Structure 1
Amino acid sequence: MKDKGFFKKFGEYALYIILAIGLAFVCKSYVFARADVIGPSMQPTFNDKDIIFMEKISTETGHINRGEVVVFNSHDENGDNYIKRVIGIAGDRIGIKSGKVYLNGKVLTENYLPEEVVTEGNSAAAEYIVPKGYVFVLGDNRENSTDSRIIGPVNLKDVKGHVILRVYPFKNMNYFK
């Protein structure tokens, strides 16, 4: 009789463990993911070795907003993921001139950047129109960022998530919209 009770309890615990693993897998695949910031391209917002969490639901639904920070597959030779800020969405006209970014003809207010930041355009094009299904991204460290000025607009299918939380370093823990 004792053995029956043991096997019944063991079966229940095994079921709970399998359910927990399944739920964790679903959350990691479709809801939340962790990422590490590598490099200085998003300074001063994020620094090298910051640890962030991103939500993935908005990318699954294709709902990305201007100003959000996203992580995307760069398709570079190393298969790196890049972290950048969304400046323009489908249909937006982005202009870069005289060190400023223009969104649909108006100077973009970028409160997340220090006042002295100058944005230079790619010499090949000073104006970009964001195609449907794409976003235009820039790094906050405009002098040291491989972003849409160089690689062009980013396909929404390549966006892995939108940053919602920095967890490390602990003193800089912060929530992002």
Structure 2
Amino acid sequence: MRLFTRNFRPLTRRVFGVIGVIIKYGCIAHCTFEYVADIVVCSGSSMEPTLFTNNVLLTEHISPRLQKIKRGDIIVAKSPTDPRQFVCKRVTGIAGDRVKNGFYSEIQIPPGHVWLEGDNRGNSTDSRSYGPVPAGLIRSRAILRVWPPQDACLLTKPEEE
């Protein structure tokens, strides 16, 4: 029995060492994807011609947390109508802006909200349907299209002076 126990200890140490490394890197990956950056696969036609179904985006989570979302940013947010889904839309208005909602009405965006619209206006369910979106629903801001490789590009605009 002692021989079995003596031979088993190095194997046990090695197994627990590997498990420890897996847990460490899993925690690092979780924190990175939750708080720093993320990979998102697009689906749907609401952002065409800018983004197409199966485009893969690199998104960052820091701007929404610091409330640094600007007009023109492409964001990923929880859907205001179905919290189990995410939407990818362009910010076309921020708090205090007045936006047209239909032919005759105009809405002022309340504090803490944004106005989201898809680039494909004819085939997009967006703020024109559900109104201003709370900024707290914004998860991330798209910064780079990484797939397909021939269409890879930055999705951020330089700061306007």
What's the TM-score once normalised by structure 1's chain length? Answer: 0.74
1:85-104 paired onto structure 2 within 5 Å: 85-95=90-100
After superposition, the C-alpha distances for 1:45-90 in whole angstroms (9 at most, x for unaligned) are 1012212121111122222111100011113358321111111111
Count of matched residue positions in the alignment of Structure 1 and Structure 2 = 151
The share of aligned pairs that are identical, in percent, is 32
Cα 1:77/1:154, change in 2 over 3 Å: closer
Q: Which residue of structure 2 lines up, in the alignment, with residue 122 of structure 1?
A: 102
Q: Tell me how far apart the structure 2 counterparts of residues 33 and 124 of structure 1 sit (CA, whole Å).
A: 40
Q: Residue in 2 aligned with 1:112? A: none
What is the aligned partner in structure 1 of residue 115 from structure 2? Answer: 136
Point out the more displaced range, 71-80 or 167-176: 71-80
Structure 2 stretches of 5 or more lacking a match?
1-5, 157-161
- Please give the secondary structure, in 2, of the residue aligned with 1:59: helix
| Cα shift at 1:14 | 3.4
Q: State the shift of 1:175 in Å.
A: 2.0
Max radius of gyration: which structure? 2
1:45 aligned to which of 37, 47, 50: 50
Partner of 1:161: 140
Cα distance change, pair 80–140 in 1 and its aligned pair in 2 (3 A): same
Note the C-alpha offset of 1:22. Answer: 0.4
The runs of 5 or more residues in structure 1 that have no matched partner are 96-120
Alpha carbon RMSD of aligned pairs, Å? 2.2
Summarize the alignment of residues 9-28 of structure 1 with structure 2, pairs less than 5 Å apart.
Answer: 10-28=15-33
